[in-house]
Amino acid sequence: MTDTATIDVDPQVYYDATTALTNASMAFARAVDDRWSALADCEQMAGSYDDAKTWATDYDARANEAITTSRMLWEAAWSYCSLLGEMGYNHAMADWSSVIGNTAPQPAYPPLPNWLSITCRPDLPSAGGPGNGLVAEGLSGAVDLLDEIGVVIPDGDTGKLGNAARIWSEMTADQAVANFAAELNRIADMFATVTTPEAVFIDEDLRRMATAATEVAGQLGEIGTAVNEHLVSLQELRNQLKDQLIELGKEIGKEVLIGIGLSVITAGFGAALATARGAAAVKKFAGPIRALVVAFKSAKITKGVKTTHTPATHQPTLAELAALKPTKAPTKPTTAAPKKALTEDDHIAINSYTGMGYRNLNQALRNPLTDPDAYTQQRIDALNQALGKLPDHQGPVVRHTNLPEQELAKYQPGQTVLETGFTSTTKNPNGASALFEGGSNVEFQIISKTGKDVSGLSKSPEEMEVLFRSGTPFACTQRWTDPATGRTFIRLVEQ
């Protein structure tokens, strides 16, 4: 981590990144979601024979993996926009507050991204069809050609397959999709000269999203290719079947009109197949037709829809990043009147805690072997009561502290930790002071929901303290260690 004394930050970088990320994530979301209905219209396109159902099962899994991961990606990116804006504003406020008696206007709170209003979609309908082989009209006679062939003729819908292949390809080629990973990396590059403690992790988060975006775009393209290959193979098979049926007509001395539709073959053989000559011709051509169908299934359809890109592996990361968003739009720190008027006792309780009073109260609360004595409990209750009268501070805060390994072990991703004591944090992204930041082995990055801004009542207002009441639960979303400094970083979201 960079030493606090050399921090270089321009809040506008955060604001510009917020705008760029908002635009890119919304464009990506629209590029994918606006095509969902058209893809849904391609249901049952693969057909109903067993091999087609197997192919369709593969397709369904890959298609829904791509769509689901896309949704998680744009939700994570959109949520991160609010965090970037909040961080930039906190830096601007820290600069403004660093000037004692500052009479300049407070920094304006940046506009939040517009709500990403996109319908929550179900899984795409299955690509498997309900029929039983290709519909064949005019082939019934003394000998049933289809029975003689002995295999189900593929009944996929080439019209729907063509639409699906086109839609997946268009989605892949859409610049909002194709360039999303590059744009995420470009936004990460904007923080290259920012030396705040969180800058390296912003870079990491954005690049993790970029990696997921690369995987999503890659899989979208592979799905389109697989559908198109299946379509082309099916069209080739249909044309070969048409040629065989024309030859069959010649064999029985009848000129027939063969029609190859989207999922239907029609042949005007009529009663000609009921003759002995027709029956012999059917037996003669059944073998070659069967060979065509078997070759198609073994060479094309049985390989299914396989993709080398696996965006689903990034879903836990995307869910973790999306969870960092505030439950509602963060509000700027305020000095507005508290929810209830503070009494003199309330002022004393808060002011005392921000001096040296925190030691006795937290030692008593965090001691697992004994309960606080009556006097200490009275002070704890008084402080909790006073904090309950203050407005909530919502948004990111930071806490620097030193914890032994046994205490650190409690903070694991996916776990909820109950902080039995009062939890002191700061709105200043750089930490309450250089002394705290430089001498700590742990940095908590917390999303506050009900923390209280006590800076106006504190003995040390420059610390910009946000204080949480005793017994506040926090969900741990991420934990890592900086190999250069050995410091542990833990991300928490207040529950």
Predicted confidence (pLDDT) per residue in 236-271, tens digit? 877 777 777 777 667 766 555 445 444 444 455 555
In a shared domain, residues 303 and 356:
no
In a shared domain, residues 46 and 195:
yes
- The share of the chain scoring above pLDDT 70, in percent, equals 76
pLDDT band at 35 (very low <50, low <70, confident <90, very high): very high
In a shared domain, residues 187 and 309:
yes
More confident residue, 116 or 166: 166
Check residue 357 and report its DSSP letter. Answer: I
Residue 313 is which amino acid? Answer: T
pLDDT of residue 357: 79
Last residue of a domain, one of 322, 352, 385: 322
Residue of 345, 350, 332, 339 whose CA lies nearest to 469: 350
In a shared domain, residues 435 and 308:
no
**Cβ–Cβ < 8 Å for 331, 395:** yes
Residue 337 domain-assigned (yes or no): no
Residue 335 domain-assigned (yes or no): no
Strand, helix or coil at 20?
helix
Q: pLDDT tens, 169-194? A: 999 999 999 999 999 999 999 998 88
- Mean pLDDT (whole number) for 295-315: 78
Residue 329 domain-assigned (yes or no): no
Residue 90 domain-assigned (yes or no): yes
Residue 185 domain-assigned (yes or no): yes
Q: How many domains, in total, are found in the chain?
A: 2
pLDDT of residue 266: 47
Q: pLDDT tens, 51-100? A: 778 888 889 999 999 999 999 999 899 889 988 988 888 788 777 766 66
Instruction: Lowest mean pLDDT of 142-146, 197-201, 442-446, name the range.
Output: 142-146
In a shared domain, residues 272 and 356:
no
In sign, the C-alpha dihedral spanning 421, 426, 431, 436 is negative
User: Quick one: the chain helix, strand, coil %, rounded to 5?
Assistant: 55, 15, 35
CATH number at 370 reads 3.90.176.10
Residue 270 domain-assigned (yes or no): yes
Residue 434 domain-assigned (yes or no): yes
Residue 327 has pLDDT above 80, yes or no: no
In a shared domain, residues 307 and 355:
no
Report the distance separating Cα 388 and Cα 350, nearest Å: 11
Q: How far is CA 328 from CA 78, 236, 393, 394, in A?
A: 13, 55, 12, 8
Residue 119 has pLDDT above 90, yes or no: no
* Neighbour tally for 17: CB within 10 Å: 25
Q: Could you tell me whether strands 472-481 and 488-494 are parallel, antiparallel, or unpaired per DSSP bridges? A: antiparallel
pLDDT of residue 106: 82
In a shared domain, residues 310 and 353:
no
Residue 335 has pLDDT above 50, yes or no: no
- The share of the chain scoring above pLDDT 90, in percent, equals 33
**Cβ burial 38-64 (10 Å sphere, 16+ → b, else e):** ebeebbbbbbbbebbbbbbbbbbebbe
Last residue of a domain, one of 290, 322, 354: 322
Report the distance separating Cα 398 and Cα 468, nearest Å: 12
Q: How far is CA 391 from CA 23, 94, 329, 385, 420, in A?
A: 32, 20, 15, 13, 21
pLDDT of residue 338: 45
Check residue 355 and report its DSSP letter. Answer: I
Residue 5 has pLDDT above 60, yes or no: no
In a shared domain, residues 93 and 191:
yes
Token pair in block for residue 174: 């859409």
* Neighbour tally for 192: CB within 10 Å: 10
- Mean pLDDT (whole number) for 128-145: 47
In a shared domain, residues 380 and 243:
no
Write out the residue range of the structural domain in which residue 168 sits.
Answer: 4-322
In a shared domain, residues 229 and 307:
yes
**Cβ–Cβ < 8 Å for 44, 121:** no
Residue 21 domain-assigned (yes or no): yes
Indicate the Cα dihedral angle 354, 355, 356, 358, nearest 10°: -10
Instruction: Report the chain's mean pLDDT, rounded to a whole number.
Output: 80
Question: DSSP string of 360-413?
Answer: HHHHHHH-TTSPPPHHHHHHHHHHHHHHTTSPEEEEEEEEEE---HHHHTT--T
In a shared domain, residues 316 and 362:
no
In a shared domain, residues 315 and 365:
no
